[in-house]
Amino acid sequence: AQSVTQLDSQVPVFEEAPVELRCNYSSSVSVYLFWYVQYPNQGLQLLLKYLSGSTLVKGINGFEAEFNKSQTSFHLRKPSVHISDTAEYFCAVILLSGGYNKLIFGAGTRLAVHP
Amino acid sequence: DAGVTQSPTHLIKTRGQQVTLRCSPKSGHDTVSWYQQALGQGPQFIFQYYEEEERQRGNFPDRFSGHQFPNYSSELNVNALLLGDSALYLCASRRSGEEYNEQFFGPGTRLTVL
């Protein structure tokens, strides 16, 4: 069965420190990979995506992620976080079969940035 | 461009009742998906509508049904509500035609079942 595992439910970090949010997936078919952010009482916003090509992808708000096929991982990183980055972050995949672009999400990681 | 809109914002129902949630897709989008996000969880795919038909369905009971109208807007209906149906319901829209087109999410409808 296909699944997405976010290894940390909560990540506390101080402002201006680097952060990494971890994501692993399992799938028997090729996938597209995504990170979404959800601010309180809001919907989901796409941070970045990997479809093909370079395994290092850059997104909005200074975030980047690296696709590692051998480790089936897609970890999200930011070199220096701000208070405004406090939010819930979701890793997701689309299976490249079926053609319906169904997103499969992880359980989320709550990033809490402290001053 | 108004983006994806959903109504109502919040809803309170009691067990056994029925509820209808509404979604208007982003301009130019013809495909609508619905997701359920329980508290502290990631969104779970309910179903997707394209050309007014349900094209794919997640692991949800028949109490969950939907509809898509000719203007591409969509409704999610839930019958015989259970306490466990309390969640944020998210609608997402995209354009069809390519292998991948980005899905844009609405702000969601918060359903509370008492």
pLDDT band at A28 (very low <50, low <70, confident <90, very high): confident
- Averaged pLDDT, B49-65: 94
Contact A102 B58 (CB under 8 A): yes
Probe site for chain A from B23, B50, B100 (most A CB atoms < 10 A): B100
pLDDT at position B46 = 96
**DSSP, residue by residue, B44-99:** EEEEEEETTEEEEE-S--TTEEEEE-TTS-EEEEE-S--GGG-EEEEEEEE-SSSS
The one-letter code for the residue type at A52 is S
pLDDT one-digit tens code per residue, A30-88: 889 999 999 987 889 999 999 988 999 999 999 999 999 999 999 999 999 999 999 99
Closest Cα to residue A39, out of A69, A70, A60, A14? Answer: A60
pLDDT at position A100 = 66
Residues 44-63 of A with CB under 8 A from B: 44-46, 49, 51
pLDDT at position B30 = 95
- Averaged pLDDT, A93-102: 76
Residue A1, pLDDT above cutoff 80? no
Query: What's A17's DSSP letter?
Result: -
